[in-house]
Amino acid sequence: MSYSHQQVITQLGIDIELFLRKLEAGLYKKPLAERDQEIVCQFLLGYRRKQVAATVNLCDAEVGNRLNANIYPRIAELMQVEQSEIANNWVLILNFLLNPVHGYRLNPSPQLNSDNFQGSFGRQIFLYSNHQKIVQNQIKGSQRYQQGLYYQALLLFVKAWNEEHRLYGKGNPEICIYINNCLIEYRKTFLKKQGIQVYSIAVIVPFHHNQGRVAAEILRGIAQIQSQINFQNFDISTLETEFCEFIEHHSDKTGKSRKDAEFTIIRPNIFSMFREQANLLTSGKIALQVMVVNDPNNVYDPYNQTAEKLANLAAQLDLIAVIGHYSSEMTRTALNFYAEKGIVLINASSTSSELSDLDENIGFFRVTTPDRVNAAQLIQYLVESIPNSGVRKVAIIYNEKSSYSCSYRAAIKARLDNYQNQFVLQSEYGRLGGEFDEIRSYLLAIRQESVNVIILIPDGGIEPNSLNNAGLISRLNLKDCVIAGSATFYQENVLHWMHERSQRDEPTTDPITHENSLIACIPWHWHSQENGCKSSNLLAKQFCQIGKQLWGIKHVTWRSATAFDSILILLKALEHSQEDEMLVQMRRFFKIQNQDVTGVTGVIKFRENGDRISPPAEIVGVQSQESLEVKQKGDEVRKQWGWEHLKSMPK
């Protein structure tokens, strides 16, 4: 970008690059010479012809010839006026560019961030690529977004996403969200003419928890449904042609050189994955912008500053709802701030039973499965699957500083009371977030007591040691012992830990049984009988089909599915009424009229307190599969670990 281009952007607030690109795309379809571009910028900045001529090293007459022969005709065509009307009338041209209707006037997004708040529609990147070239495009895209240059930001974000997908087989969900946001900003005039209503929401995720893995899982579901909603408003072929890269061909099938090069769009790309997809989401004319907000997830703050700041910004940003928070502790604290402002809070991941008894629950909707249901289904599965060979001794390891962890522990204990002839609670340990040496001593003690079931309940990331310690426990070779975990235990880390453990264990041909396995109860799994990739749930099948292309199978998790459904219920409420405030529409549709929606995770209905009626429960276990890798010096058999589906529990 030249200095004069930058001056037009900063001094006049005009997207000069978009204007020049449009001048090159008319009937002439030829690039404007750099000198002609400089002439345009100089005149827009108010310089006289002599000054312009001196800047571009031409005489007055030569500048006039360029204007009349190459510049004015393009501008007249773009403005749809006679050339005589705009010749030497740069005030008229400037007024055309400054008119918001024409889409050249910049409207930079406001700077929202502070010491206590990090939110972005595209101004800031949280999930960086491992590849330096991709990172550069991500950063440049965010810089263009800050300037209000949404077209240029869109080009850079698309380039970054496509390159990352080609290199690693999965795209960046945060960048996918920003692609959507830029597209909406750039085409707002078009959307308005088509009668398409643009809505804005915020999604709050903990980027610092587990190295951003949890945040990425959630954002995959958000980005996927946002793209399905938005891209259907545009022609996919046009988007590919304008924003994606091409392969140039200079020879025909016989290998002979051709005078005219042929171009092929590189696929797959961010847009091609949404070709010919049936619209199973909404019949409404809707577009969706998403603000990505980082939640520090710090339970020891005196209050949730992220939620307070967002609640105060909601009116300025026209937010209709908030998706979040991740941990139960953050959700409980944040709900008060949103309730005071009348903001809908849809939760996809917080399971604590405490959230069922909140006072400010008018605008609260919880898509995921509460602890009491999850714990009951986990114990039920253990009852059914563990051979009845006497009373089993159970130990519970949890974080006493986490209300979620304590809630799940209480639900487990209540359920165990119903099976005293099969299980006895031998011991409890509440310092999962403490030092591992202490935990190791505790484990040695309970093994001497012949404990053969360990219920492991890591918190939602409020203490960094909790998940790490849970992994260290799973990595220990605890033979003849089932380790059963809550949904927070479902992490990719566990697979890495199991791989490390398998490298140390003596080789065996015995299949993995429940006597030495890790299991967890979660709301959704790819291979769910009811809501998986091969189920009768059409939306779930489509979710898997598109998700496989965008992110890869192993990266689409229960957090992605519940996040997807969180936006789906918003769409369904909007589909039936757009006249009242979102809180009124949501409450009327789900809590008064008792309507239901079929989502990826099944049928979604809500009680008055915001809890889901008959929520899903899927039992999964860590299992190994042997894969054959052919290498130069021979074949090597290697175990791969994955969370495999075991059973869909009846509701």
Question: Do strands 246-251 and 257-265 pair parallel, antiparallel, or not at all (unpaired)?
Answer: antiparallel
Show the beta-strand stretches assigned E in 74-212: 119-120, 197-205
Query: Is the CB of residue 67 less than 8 Å from the CB of residue 87?
Result: yes
pLDDT at 444: 86
In this predicted structure, what is the pLDDT of residue 148? 93
pLDDT over 60 at 123, yes or no: yes
Reported confidence tier of residue 638, pLDDT bands at 50, 70, 90: low
| Per-residue model confidence (pLDDT) at position 305 | 84
H helix intervals, 369-515: 371-385, 403-416, 436-448, 464-475, 492-504
Residue that wins the pLDDT comparison between 134 and 479: 134
- Looking at 179-270, which runs of residues are DSSP E strands? 197-205, 246-251, 257-265
Closest to 131 measured CA to CA, from 173, 183, 177, 171: 171
* Residue 110 confidence (pLDDT): 74
Domains and CATH numbers, the chain: 3-102 (no CATH), 372-522 (3.40.50.2300)
pLDDT number for residue 626:
55
Query: Residue 358's CB: how many other CB atoms inside 10 A?
Result: 15
Confidence of residue 248 (pLDDT cuts 50, 70, 90): confident
14 residue type, one letter: I
3-state SS class at 123: coil
What pLDDT, on a 0 to 100 scale, did the predictor assign at position 476?
Answer: 63
Question: What pLDDT does residue 252 have?
Answer: 56
Res. 132: pLDDT tops 90: yes
- What angle is formed at CA 224 by the lines to CA 219 and CA 230, rounded to 5 degrees? 120
**Predicted local confidence at residue 2, as pLDDT:** 84
Number of Cβ within a 10 Å radius of residue 589? 21
Task: Give 408's contacts (C-beta < 8 A, 6+ positions apart).
Answer: 351, 352, 371, 374, 375, 398, 457, 486
Query: Hey, what are 220's tokens?
Result: 């995959």
Question: 491-507: per-residue pLDDT in tens?
Answer: 887 777 777 666 655 54
Asked if the model's pLDDT at residue 281 lies above 80, the reply is yes
pLDDT digits 0-9 by tens, 379-409: 999 999 887 778 899 999 999 988 899 999 9
- For the stretch 7-35, pLDDT in tens is 999 889 999 998 998 898 877 668 899 99
448-459: pLDDT as tens digits: 888 889 999 988
Question: What pLDDT is stored for residue 607 in this prediction?
Answer: 96
Q: Stretch 298-316: mean pLDDT, rounded?
A: 80
Q: Are strands 197-205 and 319-323 parallel, antiparallel or unpaired?
A: parallel
Is the previous residue joined to 208 through a cis bond, with omega within 30 degrees of 0? no
pLDDT band at 516 (very low <50, low <70, confident <90, very high): very low
Quote the percentage of the chain above a pLDDT of 90. 66
- Which residues, 6+ apart, have CB-to-CB distance to 137 below 8 Å? 156, 157, 159, 160, 163
pLDDT band, very low/low/confident/very high, at 631 (cuts 50, 70, 90): very low
CA distances from 500 to 127, 259, 457 (A): 27, 58, 22
How do residues 143-198 score in pLDDT, each as one tens digit? 999 999 999 999 999 999 999 999 999 999 999 999 999 999 999 989 999 999 99
Backbone region of residue 37 per phi and psi (left: phi > 0; alpha: psi in -120 to 50; beta: other values): alpha
How crowded is the C-beta side of 40, counted as CA atoms within 13 Å? 27
Statement: residue 639 has pLDDT above 90: no
How far is 288 from 180, CA to CA, in rounded Å? 8
| 330-334, 409-413, 445-449, 464-468: range with lowest mean pLDDT | 464-468
Q: Per residue in 335-349, pLDDT tens?
A: 999 999 999 999 999
Residue 300 pLDDT grade (very low, low, confident, very high; cuts 50, 70, 90): low
3-class SS letters over 471-506: HHHHHCCCCCCEEEECHHHCCHHHHHHHHHHHHHCC
CA distance 415 to 489: 20
The answer on pLDDT for 433 being more than 80 is yes
List 637's β-bridge partners, or say none.
Answer: 628
Report CA 569 to chain centroid distance, whole Å: 17
pLDDT given at position 250: 57
Out of 52-56, 478-482, 625-629, give the one with best mean pLDDT: 52-56
Number of other residues whose CB lies within 10 A of the CB of residue 37: 22
Q: 190: left (phi > 0), else alpha (psi -120 to 50), else beta?
A: alpha
pLDDT at 623: 84
pLDDT of residue 507: 46
Q: Say whether 250 sits in a helix, a strand or coil.
A: strand
d(CA 617, CA 602): 11
Q: Minimal CA–CA distance to 222: which of 154, 292, 165?
A: 292
Average pLDDT taken over every residue of the chain: 88
Q: Does residue 103 register a pLDDT over 80? A: yes
Q: What is the pLDDT of residues 577-625, one digit of tens each?
A: 767 899 999 999 999 999 999 999 999 999 999 999 999 999 999 887 6
pTM (2 d.p.): 0.89
Angle at which helix 213-231 crosses helix 538-550, to 10 degrees, equals 110
